[in-house]
Amino acid sequence: MHFLDQAKIFVRSGAGGGGAVSFRREKFIEYGGPDGGNGGKGGDIVFEAVAGLNTLIDFRYTQHFRAPRGKGGAGSNMTGAGGEDLVIKVPVGTQVLSEDKEEVLLDFTRVGQREVFLRGGDGGRGNLSYKTSTNRAPRQHGTGWPSEEAWVWLRLKLLADAGLVGLPNAGKSTFINAVTNAQAKVGAYAFTTTRPQLGVVRHHDREFVIADIPGLIEGAAEGAGIGDRFLGHIERCQVLLHLVDANDEDVATSYRIVREELENYGAGLTDKPVVVALNKIDTLDEELIKALSEELEEASGAQVIPISGAAQIGVDWVLDELLAKMSDAADVVPDDDEGEDAVEWSPV
């Protein structure tokens, strides 16, 4: 399955059905009169977050969504049938953005979350509703309220508890393969990972989701390499695992490059708890490992865990630290005013 995390679509709710102009003409009824029913309501555009989806690829091939309009009213005071709501199913973690991508209109963070985005038009009034004591035979009727329409962007931010960051070829794919059921591509060249990967970690009778994103290089914020477009998938993570390749020429510089790109991206990524690990130590002797760890600790200001994803060295230690920091993060309750709340919105 191809991975797609952004898609632009057109949505339009259904217009209301027109009211009817009708008069009773029945045998043996002395007085007739208006009996035109109201039109039916148009269908709503509804977004629903469902389980089992982790890509927006379906929206590459279907980009226009139109809810049916309401049916017209009829005689005998019969109201027209309402148009069925059009339910658009999206993965959990999807955001609905305005056409200019400046405003978050809806944000889906849990399975089953269902939101009405565009409301269908109300049905028009039939001529029976216009009858008054002075207007006994009205012929006017309502045509039904018009539909609403908009172009919107869908943006997927994968929901994971921990996010993997580092330079290309830092061993992120090897690590996620070692600790989860993921089958990420591994190769001895940069940018082996070209799309985000998710895996489920089972450690100490607990489960959590870890996300691996393509590596960052200097200038990623300006589009160098694959750029920073996939950083959105770790915005919701509680903790980051920063892997540094022990074979790099300068491990401190490698660490700073990634941190600077996270800072340039923003979204509070540099404020998240981080676990720093010196990876691929199976190729080095103990003396060099100690020297590189001290150098990296000085640059990061954090404890450095020497590991090897390929040789399964230090992996349990890293997972213990991730669980500890996730527990600490869960104890912090944010203010109600904080966070990126969805706003009510309707096209003009």
Tell me the pLDDT tens digit for each residue of 170-228.
888 888 888 887 665 555 444 555 567 778 888 888 888 888 877 776 666 665 555 56
Q: Is 181 annotated as a binding residue?
A: no
Asked whether the CA dihedral 256, 261, 267, 273 is positive or negative, the reply is negative
Asked if residue 80 has pLDDT above 90, the reply is yes
Contact between residue 42 and residue 92 where contact means Cβ atoms under 8 Å apart: no
Q: Is 280 annotated as a binding residue?
A: yes
Q: Which residue has tokens 């038009």? A: 121
SS3 state of residue 90: strand
- The yes/no answer on whether domain 162-330 falls in CATH 3.40.605.10 is no
- Tell me the pTM: 0.73
Give the residue among 84, 91, 112 at the shortest CA–CA distance from 7.
91
Q: Is 270 annotated as a binding residue?
A: no
How many of the other CB atoms lie within 10 Å of CB of 64? 8
Q: Do 6-156 and 162-330 share a fold?
A: no
**Distance in angstroms (rounded) separating the CA atoms of residues 98 and 15:** 22
Q: Is 279 annotated as a binding residue?
A: yes
| pLDDT band, very low/low/confident/very high, at 336 (cuts 50, 70, 90) | very low
Q: Is 293 annotated as a binding residue?
A: no
Q: Is 171 annotated as a binding residue?
A: yes
Q: Is 32 annotated as a binding residue?
A: no
pLDDT 10s digits, 111-162: 999 999 999 999 999 999 999 989 988 999 999 999 999 999 999 887 788 8
Q: What is the CATH number of domain 6-156?
A: 2.70.210.12
Domain boundaries, the chain: 6-156, 162-330
